[in-house]
Amino acid sequence: MHAEDEAQFQAFVQARWAHLVRTAYLLSGDRHFAEDLAQAALAKAYRSWRKVNRSDNPEAYVRRILVSCNSDRFRKRRVAERLTDAPPEGPGADPTARVAQREVLLKALAGLPARQRAVVVLRYWDDLSEAEVAQTLGCSAGTVKSQAAKGLAKLRVYPGLGASDEPGVPGARGRRERMTTDHGGVK
């Protein structure tokens, strides 16, 4: 790899590492595996960095690799995952704020089928459009809409996450702002 490409890749990793790990954690439910998943995605991106960097959106390209790596894990192992730790905190996060609610949300996400979880995480955590989620997952926008609706319906009836006017509770009203804090961490 040329020095300029190497520098661009390193800058990308430094800028996007924490976000990739958080997304991987929400997809996988395992903090340690999330780091491995982010590393695996970045290793694949590194091998074809010129192609990735020339794409319209390198972050979307790497996110697609991340989702594929996570899907490969399910195809290979078919093991049910359980959330045991809190997700990595972003800079300036208050680690004591809304811990119980965060744990409920993470357990609810872990209970969703892998495809629904991926759609909900990408659509409402990463705040991607339906078209971007469809492109990332390699499916139609209609599939994204139906999987999001099914996933959100399951989250709404999960104990402690039902439709509510209380700030921070994902329910009938609101999407991303009810699932994340101002600094990007899950409430």
In the prediction, which pLDDT does 104 show? 81
pLDDT at 75: 60
More confident of the two residues 18 and 96: 18
Q: What is the value of pTM for the model shown?
A: 0.58
Averaged pLDDT for residues 125-150 = 92
| CB-CB contact of 168 with 187 (8 Å) | yes
In a 3-state reduction of DSSP, which class is residue 186? Answer: strand
pLDDT of residue 89: 55
Q: Is the pLDDT of residue 80 over 90?
A: no
Q: Can you tell me whether residue 180 is helix, strand or coil? A: strand
> Which region holds residue 110: left if phi is over 0, alpha if psi is between -120 and 50, else beta?
alpha
Query: By mean pLDDT, which of 1-5, 73-77, 111-115, 139-143 is the weakest?
Result: 73-77
- Average pLDDT score, the chain: 78
Predicted confidence at residue 94, as pLDDT, reads 52
pLDDT score for 120: 92
Domains of the chain, start order = 3-77 (1.10.1740.10), 99-179 (1.10.10.10)
